[in-house]
Amino acid sequence: MFIQKKKNKSGSTSVHILQKVMGRNRIVKSLGFSFEKDEIESKLHQARELLPRLFDQMTIFDEPAAEYEHRSLSGRYGPEIVFGRIFDHLGFDAIPNQLFRDLVISALFYPGSKKRLLDYLCDHNRQEVSLENIFHFLDKLQSQYKHQTEEICFAYYEKLVGNKTGKESYRLIPLHFDKKTAKGPREKETGKSKKQKFQLMHLGVLSGKNGFPIAYDLFEETPEAHGLLQTLEKYEKRFMISLPVIIAPSGLLSKAAMEALVEKRIPFVSGVRLKRENEKIRKEIEQLAIIEGQVAKLMKPDKTKLLVHYSMIQAKKDSTARENKLKRLEKRLDEGLVSIHSINRRGFNRYLKLDKDNTISIDYKKIATERKWDGLTAYVTNTHFPSARIPNIGPELKQMWEAFRIERSDLKIKPGYHKVKERIEAMNNISFVSYALFKELERILHKRAPEISMPKAIKQIGGIKEVNHTLPNGHAQNQKIKTNEIQRKILTWVKY
């Protein structure tokens, strides 16, 4: 028996399972016909799964294997198959270093320390690499490949937009480090001094349409934003693009930095903390009647606009978080664990007050006033930023934080915990390329199947496995262990 894919006169393609009987082909099973390429591929997979059953045989593979007695097996897994194809398609195969490729792909599935990379290589039957070799490679990675990876990303981005640049944005994210360990790259100790001086760094990512990364830079934080301005000028000359819109979370751009951006007419959108605005602005916000999805605009004295957005989902989260913290505070108060020293502005202790009889109680009126701010997020801007994009700014920044592994987790070794600045920059380079692969797969899913989310796709990719059979005659045959419909679609889409 064998499978036949035949093109009909009408232009459709039919799929049949045939059997050769007395020199003639007889149709055993017809799987139907279709005009769509994806549906034809699906019918071919159905035929391959059905073929062994007609022989009363069971198989774990998508396709029947060739007949042989001896074989040696080696395999590849979904992350290497899918993201390896995307890695090559974007042009990163121009970097002839297998360790770089493994670092990039493992960052998507095994984010964390370099020991996790060793686990990834071991699980995927790859050659063993010592931890010392990995760190030695990271020390040289920044100087060798940073410029090349950025040029590859920009070249691919130009293909996506058809050389029509002009919708670029520059997202600023702070490097969050644990206060108990470090706040930045360490300086070398001199003499018997055991004190360490740390510098807080900013990570800026230049991204194009739909958030595809183009370039990145790591610079030191300064009140006047000199490092930020120099970086923007460098990108403007290097990529021949107009000044991108700076997007920053709340508290990252200082007042002096915003004034410098307004003076130089550099467009920016920065998150703000509404409760720290002046009394006049706060009263105007309290009088607003914003419904779900609406964005209100308020003018500020410095000729910037305050964009206020309301989200019912965020309001529910804020309310739930406050009620949970209030219950814990009431429990501590009942158990006598709260003293006069607990009255401060740290966390939920700001709702404690000292009564006239020197007893400590909770200021419920203050809590009631803060309920008015549930679900409100605000951004200040000096440009005509589309109101429709305001609700997406927070998720975009959060996604980028997760890509660069800046949020806290249970991992003890992170980019910021390295002693050498070159290793921090090298890890950012790895995360930058991984984020490019992530955004390319996201673009494909958004175009082909918007109903498939990225977390679901990542989970499905992790379950794909391919076995390579080396036959006695020296020929190799690749076979994939049985895949479901979503896995087959993803494998088809990344064939390019």
Residue pLDDT, tens place only, 137-158: 888 888 888 999 999 999 999 8
Q: How far is CA 254 from CA 217, 299, 307, in A?
A: 19, 19, 18
Backbone angles phi, psi at 130, to 5 degrees: -75, 155
Q: Are the C-beta atoms of residues 206 and 214 closer than 8 Å to each other?
A: yes
| Helix 390-403 / helix 421-448 crossing angle, nearest 10 deg | 130
pLDDT in tens, 347-377: 767 778 878 777 888 888 888 888 888 888 8
pLDDT of 478: 64
Q: Which residue has the higher pLDDT, 125 or 236?
A: 236
Tell me the helix, strand and coil percentages in the chain, rounded to 5. 45, 20, 35
Contacts of 59 (CB under 8 A, 6+ apart): 52, 65, 482
CA dihedral 183→185→191→192, nearest 10 degrees, is 40
pLDDT value for 469: 61
Rounded to an integer, what distance in angstroms lies between the CA atom of residue 147 and that of residue 41?
A: 40
* pTM of this structure: 0.70
Cβ neighbours for 40, distance < 8 A, ≥ 6 positions apart: 5, 13, 15, 34
Q: How far apart are CA 297 and CA 367, in angstroms?
A: 26
Per-residue pLDDT, averaged over 219-238, amounts to: 80
Helix axes of 98-109 and 114-123: crossing angle, nearest 10 degrees: 100
Closest CA to 482 of 87, 65, 4, 15: 65
Band (pLDDT 50/70/90 cuts) for residue 477 is low
Question: What b/e sequence results for 81-92 when a residue is b if at least 16 CB atoms lie within 10 Å of its CB, and e otherwise?
Answer: bbbbbbbeebbb
Residue 125 has pLDDT above 60, yes or no: no
Helix then strand count (H, E) for the chain reads: 15, 16
Q: What is the DSSP string of 372-410?
A: GGTTEEEEEESS---GGGHHHHHHHHHHHHHHTT-S--S
Assess whether pLDDT exceeds 90 at residue 54: no
H-helix or E-strand spanning residue 152: helix 131-161
Q: How far apart are CA 84 and CA 90, in angstroms?
A: 10
Token output for 419: 């002693």
Given pLDDT bands bounded at 50, 70 and 90, which one contains residue 473?
low
Q: Determine the pLDDT at residue 156.
A: 92
Name residue 464's amino acid.
I
pLDDT digits (tens, 9 = 90+) for 159-199: 888 877 767 788 877 764 434 444 455 555 554 444 445 55
